[in-house]
Structure 1
Amino acid sequence: MSLEDSPAHAASGSSADAHDLPGLAGGAPGAPVLRRAEGRTGLRAFMQVPAEVYRDDPAWVAPLWLERRLHYSRQNPFLRHGHWRGWVALRDGRPVGRICAQVDTLHQARYGASGHFGLLEAVDDPSVFRTLVAAAEQWLAAQGVREVTGPFSFSINQECGVLVDGFDTPPAVMMPHGRRWYARRLEAEGYRPAQDMLAYAIDTGFRHPPAMTALLGRFGDRVRLRSLRRRELGRELELLRGIFNDAWSRNWGFVPFTAEEFAELGQVLRWVVDDDLVRIAEVDGEAAAFIVGLPDLNELIADLDGRLLPFGWLRLIRRLRGGAATRGRVPLMGVRRCYQDSPLGAALAFAVIAGAQSAYVERGIRWAELSWVLDDNAGMRKILERLGGEPYKRYRLYRKVIA
């Protein structure tokens, strides 16, 4: 796949960009110069920005270059219902910042004339942030957007949020990192907090509290726990997607997973997740809740500098097969709405968590992140804290009205 296959090169919508919008291309001595993230050269510069921004941050983990190329390519299923544009800020020819703007028709169908920004990374320089944010806002305004939220990379079902607490520890797989100045610089550009999200850390050796044991006993004759049926993966993925879309449908900013997006997630499950790290709870024979546990791939790729060639892929495979992971992440969990806010719903949540716990312990995974959890999701937060979980990272989504 060529880098020129990127959607930044083929994004639909208005042609407004840094070359068309006055005041965005720089020119004054020392001022950032803005360029579109299109074509091989532009997208490569876009992808290089994080390495520049985090070069002195020991907690940062370089993402796999191949995975990022795929994310920005036409193969990303987000492009079936959205389009995006990206920009890179350069100073003296060196990339010092980046941003993307995107419009998601599924989000607009629910929330009106909305748009997003995302993939924001930049050095601590107000002129760089101002230039990047202005480019994103002007392009979004040309798309008819009146309210901007973000950051999303590219949707709420992918990496999202600005890290505002928890900078000293590395991000878990498929979670963003950040620098301490991001929130301050965004707020200086008129953005205000819209929603906070938490990442919980938990020791996988936690003891089951008496209330949990009692609930599981109370509904034990109705609740059955099982693992993923890999031979029926397509059907299983649709089952999990249906539970997730139902379970999360009333949450802030919810946009449903499409079948294509969940199928892409299924490729991750196929290659890095054993069947019993996906637990499905059935009530009276009907699937009602599930949880997905991953080994924390960031722990396994931290020394690869983002590259699988020439021998990084072999090291990664050996680590996956050899059980080298000591950390995990739970990225997906859901209980059908009809059971939420009820004792049976709590029992279902406990059941799938206990199932993931046993699978993690068996593999030597001693610690797990459960993320993300909405700050105002009191029910789930109470369950996790009963199990000994503690919020150790906080992410923030921002909003700004631009028209």
Structure 2
Amino acid sequence: MSEAATIRPVVTKADKKAFVNLPFRLYAEDPAWIAPLKDEVMGLITPGKNPFFEHAEAQLFLAERDGEVVGRISASIDHAWTPMPADKGGGADSGNWGYLDAEDQEVARLLIARAEQWLREHGVKRSIGPISMSIWEEPGLLIKGHDQPPTVMMGHDDRRYEAWVEAAGYAKVKDLHTWELDIRVPFPPLIQRIISSGEKNPRIVVRKVDKRKFAEEAAIILAILNDAWSDNWGFVPFTESEIAFAGKKMKPIIFNDLVRIAELDGEPVAFMMTWPDLNELQADLNGELFPFGFIKLLWRLNGGFSGKPKVKTMRVPLMGVVKRLQASRMASQLAFMMIEYVRRDAVAFYGSTRSEIGWILEDNQGMNSIATSINCEINKTYRIYEKAL
């Protein structure tokens, strides 16, 4: 007879390695799962490497049974999250859990209970999850789209987890959608006319970014992002350290023609960031960069000698229009123009056939309306839950 699972905190380097490695066993037979790069995950959960820990505290936990690791979870308090109003996801007494993986429901129940205990000990009265561990990393539990592989920096979960989390007393607080688009198909005639009208407007310039001026371009995009997203549920501004960290991590998948900045009367007012789906390029590496994975990935990112990777899927993780324009027709026109320009180049130069836009909050009417207008369909839904402790 098997022993009951025991839960213990992650303390040693070996514990962290076990925490990172567990999904490789649990999802080994899941055809939709893509192995993350182990070094990258290790960096995300390690204070001193991930600047998230400069404004947050966290504890990782492992579940063990019969001498084998059978589950994992994180508990965290983000002190940049807690100042937000409760209706925006925050509150001084709020905390998070994430990185949930478990062999069975009993293990999941024990892990969630242990994370809640840690949160209570730190004064938390409202548990929100999964957030792994920053809202900018992998928020939400996948509840729709389990048959599709995740795109770069998106999570993938066992379909059983939804029932397990709800059985632990959690209720939905917010859904995040990703929208799928066949980018080989031209946009509807009305959208094409809107784009054409924008192209004739001398006040509007939609330009490519210049990667040689990476820091300057990143500052422009960040300024627009902080303004455009400031009223969104769950929005946490980037710190300077996080900007540098994200820039270093994302720079290899930034290509000039896939990131656009829209200017109105010479002022940057909107941006759209698109990444080639790195998961396609690393799917066969089994999470290992060495000894040969790094060379393979670098070769694929460079498209051999072409300088552009060949990928089926593009992901649009971030897009924004400054707040003062958000209720105007100009906002949607700029968005349609940026999407169309990237669509053309993605098909022509990267061999791409589809795009995944998101995540987008379920109540972000502007972005959801834009997605619907260009014939996107929701392909995945990630749910964030809450529970009073």
What TM-score do you get using the length of structure 1 for normalisation? 0.90
Asked if 1:372 is matched to 2:352, the reply is no
Q: Specify the alignment match of 2:117 in structure 1.
A: 138
Q: CA deviation at 1:270?
A: 2.2
Q: Which of 206, 213, 221 is matched with 2:185 structurally?
A: 206
Task: Tell me the secondary structure at the aligned position of residue 82 of structure 2.
Answer: helix
Q: Which of 117, 124, 128 is matched with 2:97 structurally?
A: 117
Q: Specify the alignment match of 2:87 in structure 1.
A: none
The residue identity in structure 2 corresponding to 1:234 is: A
Task: Tell me the secondary structure at the aligned position of residue 375 of structure 2.
Answer: coil
Asked if 1:324 is matched to 2:296, the reply is no
Is the CA contact (8 Å cut-off) linking 1:206 and 1:388 kept in structure 2?
A: no
Asked if 1:77 is matched to 2:74, the reply is no
Q: CA deviation at 1:254?
A: 1.6
The residue identity in structure 2 corresponding to 1:114 is: S
Q: Which moved more, 1:68-77 or 1:167-176?
A: 68-77
Q: Specify the alignment match of 1:193 in structure 2.
A: 172
Asked if 1:401 is matched to 2:388, the reply is yes
Q: Specify the alignment match of 1:23 in structure 2.
A: none
The residue identity in structure 2 corresponding to 1:398 is: Y
Q: Specify the alignment match of 1:359 in structure 2.
A: 345
Q: What are the Cα deviations for residues 137-183 of structure 1, in whole angstroms up to 9, with x where unaligned?
A: 11111111111111111121111110001111111010000111111
Q: CA deviation at 1:288?
A: 0.6
Separation in 2, partners of 1:48, 1:365: 31
The residue identity in structure 1 corresponding to 2:137 is: Q
Q: Which of 221, 246, 249 is matched with 2:227 structurally?
A: 246
Task: Tell me the secondary structure at the aligned position of residue 314 of structure 1.
Answer: helix
Task: Tell me the secondary structure at the aligned position of residue 288 of structure 2.
Answer: coil
What TM-score do you get using the length of structure 2 for normalisation? 0.93
Q: Specify the alignment match of 2:256 in structure 1.
A: 275
Separation in 2, partners of 1:213, 1:367: 19
Q: Which of 57, 67, 70 is matched with 1:93 structurally?
A: 67
Q: Which moved more, 1:357-366 or 1:112-121?
A: 357-366
Separation in 1, partners of 2:236, 2:351: 35
Percent identity over the alignment is: 41
Superposition CA RMSD, Å = 1.5
Separation in 1, partners of 2:250, 2:175: 28
Task: Tell me the secondary structure at the aligned position of residue 36 of structure 2.
Answer: coil
The residue identity in structure 2 corresponding to 1:310 is: P
Q: Which moved more, 1:281-290 or 1:213-222?
A: 213-222
Q: What are the Cα deviations for residues 196-229 of structure 1, in whole angstroms up to 9, with x where unaligned?
A: 1111111122313333233334442221011112
Task: Tell me the secondary structure at the aligned position of residue 80 of structure 2.
Answer: helix
Structure 2 unaligned regions, length at least 5: 85-89, 304-308
Q: Which of 25, 44, 54 is matched with 1:52 structurally?
A: 25
Separation in 1, partners of 2:157, 2:26: 9
The residue identity in structure 1 corresponding to 2:366 is: G
Q: Specify the alignment match of 2:306 in structure 1.
A: none
Structure 1 unaligned regions, length at least 5: 1-27
Is the CA contact (8 Å cut-off) linking 1:206 and 1:387 kept in structure 2?
A: no
Asked if 1:342 is matched to 2:314, the reply is no
Q: Which moved more, 1:207-216 or 1:242-251?
A: 207-216
Separation in 2, partners of 1:197, 1:401: 21
Q: Specify the alignment match of 1:226 in structure 2.
A: 207
The residue identity in structure 2 corresponding to 1:83 is: E
Q: Which moved more, 1:325-334 or 1:392-401?
A: 325-334
Q: CA deviation at 1:389?
A: 1.1
Q: What are the Cα deviations for residues 85-139 of structure 1, in whole angstroms up to 9, with x where unaligned?
A: 100101112111110011111111113211000111112x222112101111111
The residue identity in structure 2 corresponding to 1:324 is: K
Q: CA deviation at 1:358?
A: 2.2
Separation in 1, partners of 2:19, 2:8: 9
Q: CA deviation at 1:29?
A: 5.1
Q: Which moved more, 1:242-251 or 1:293-302?
A: 242-251
Q: Specify the alignment match of 1:296 in structure 2.
A: 277
Q: CA deviation at 1:325?
A: 1.6
Q: CA deviation at 1:38?
A: 2.1
Is the CA contact (8 Å cut-off) linking 2:100 and 2:108 kept in structure 1?
A: no
The residue identity in structure 2 corresponding to 1:340 is: Q
Separation in 2, partners of 1:41, 1:31: 22
Task: Tell me the secondary structure at the aligned position of residue 165 of structure 2.
Answer: helix
Q: CA deviation at 1:357?
A: 1.1
